[in-house]
Structure 1
């Protein structure tokens, strides 16, 4: 079965995502897009060069800026990055990235695209909502990577603290993929054991800050972040294409708050099968969630109030 993925934006993240998709044999065809058409051609050529060393053949196409090639794509990843990377607050990227997305999405829809949009571009939640608005697709067919990466970082941080593999930690980071995110401590488990009571409130805040700042620290050291988000995105694509019905913390539409925000949802071949309830959160966690929704909502309205 042909499974075609389009990646719009071939910077560090888009290129690493393509690499992950090819090495894992997740899809049968990848089309790469970027304003820098020579770079796209080079990325495609290098990916083809490694095909003899991977388990499954993947067709690699350099699309440049010809979005008509996306008419029959199953899923498109928006991975446009800002020209200036060293920004601690992802909201600072909004003016630049929102303009690019508002220009590109209508072109893709005009080409006849009728699949699923997955967004990586920051600020993730706001841009995901912009894609939903500009595309006119159903809310179940537009989602963002949201707090999937933040949750991975939380598991890594706690895994290091407890000296266990991060896969032994379960639970979620919720809210904005940004400054207002929070660890939902009521959901965090080490195997079957709730870990919340192992930490004082001060320690919880310290660990939350370590998780939030992890991306910024990577950015300062190497100039960009890409391995984590590319791996998270590849896993989300795999879940959709396999119709796996797995629960992941992604940026989805919260109908009550009228905003896209990171929270657990079931993913399948249609995109978002179901947004799960937050009923098990504590009162304080719900308050943090509401505040995070407000941050995202205000930023979204800034784009459309001008």
Structure 2
């Protein structure tokens, strides 16, 4: 029997990337963590700190610093994309749209050309748009590319419900659906406690289960920005969302998680990446679990899908072939060069070496 190490790659070592690495180490998920970032001093420091922390991990973990040698990640089982820019998401996650799409265009194709056949887990915002762009540039099956999507928002909803009812979140099934953004919706009709529907419990015990749904929806929707207001990022919950998805892949769990995945007719939608409950295993993501939604929920989900499609349409074109040339040169985009400059992305010939690091937003 041949036993190989579990290798996880991480692109971006700002706020979230190192936390993902740390979670993978301390939960015993990864045997090797391979880091890439354009900020050489930051990625070098993170690799040192993580290697020092590995002494306290459940088993030995090696952390490798590949700087901007993205091709070195081709041997990984899973790659987590955590490259972004926090200040551009100060109002909403769409603020990173042009910058993060521009970023992934500099390394996804290079990794694909080096022979990567594993799985991508995307953290970067706007999550649904960037996940689709990674899929397009990677050449991988849709089942091999997924985003953290509303895995985090669903956790926020479960956390809010748990605090309101004093029921442990492990006993609560609750999902946020749609984009990882302000158009997402809570699927209240599908919320259950140990198998009992919320509506049934609210009728029999209104003091505990008759909470204000609108208030809790707001907590799930705005939770990231409440964190952002206090510390200008989110770190722990989103990092553990990514680690949870990676664990489901490498341990072949066949667990249903609310992840950003490709829809091909499910929920009446086709041709886009967006968050719904779906099985995650060593085969990747799928099949999708189709919840029975109310008419209002169906309309809200459809509107969220339209929002994501509108964001797709905003991206300037970029050929897959161009993404696989080294160095990768991103064409000038006069309509949005001011956005890149505000985020620190100055320059037209944008190979990966011109991008600063600080990669995370209000996830």
Same-fold call, TM > 0.5?
Answer: yes
* Match of residue 91 from structure 1: 94
1:51 and 1:201, CA in 2 relative to 1: closer, same or farther beyond 3 A? closer
Unaligned runs of 5+ in 1: none
Equivalent pairs, count: 305
1:267 aligned to 2:280? yes
CA drift of 1:87 comes to 1.5
Contact 2:54 2:62 in 1 (8 A): no
* Match of residue 291 from structure 1: 303
- Across the aligned residues of Structure 1 and Structure 2, the Cα RMSD in angstroms comes to 1.8
* Match of residue 230 from structure 2: 221
* Match of residue 50 from structure 1: 53
Pick 1 or 2: higher relative contact order, CA cutoff 8 A, min separation 6.
2
* Match of residue 178 from structure 2: 175
Determine which of 63, 68, 74 is the counterpart of 1:65.
Answer: 68
Determine which of 185, 190, 193 is the counterpart of 1:187.
Answer: 190
Superposition TM-score, scaled by structure 2 size: 0.80
* Match of residue 9 from structure 2: 6
Q: Return the alpha-carbon distance in structure 1 between the equivalents of residues 316 and 178 of structure 2.
A: 22
* Match of residue 15 from structure 1: 18
* Match of residue 83 from structure 2: 80
Q: Secondary structure at the residue paired with 1:260?
A: strand
* Match of residue 242 from structure 1: 251
Contact 1:77 1:118 in 2 (8 A): yes
CA drift of 1:117 comes to 0.8
Q: Return the alpha-carbon distance in structure 2 between the equivalents of residues 201 and 37 of structure 1.
A: 52
Q: Which deviations, in whole Å up to 9, do the C-alpha atoms of 1:12-52 show, x marking residues without a partner?
A: 10010001111111011110111111111111111111222
* Match of residue 126 from structure 1: 129
Q: Return the alpha-carbon distance in structure 1 between the equivalents of residues 23 and 256 of structure 2.
A: 21
Unaligned runs of 5+ in 2: 318-332, 334-363
Q: Return the alpha-carbon distance in structure 1 between the equivalents of residues 150 and 75 of structure 2.
A: 29
Segments of 4+ in structure 1 off by > 6 A?
Answer: 199-202
- Greater Rg over alpha carbons, structure: 2
Superposition TM-score, scaled by structure 1 size: 0.95
Q: Return the alpha-carbon distance in structure 1 between the equivalents of residues 303 and 211 of structure 2.
A: 20
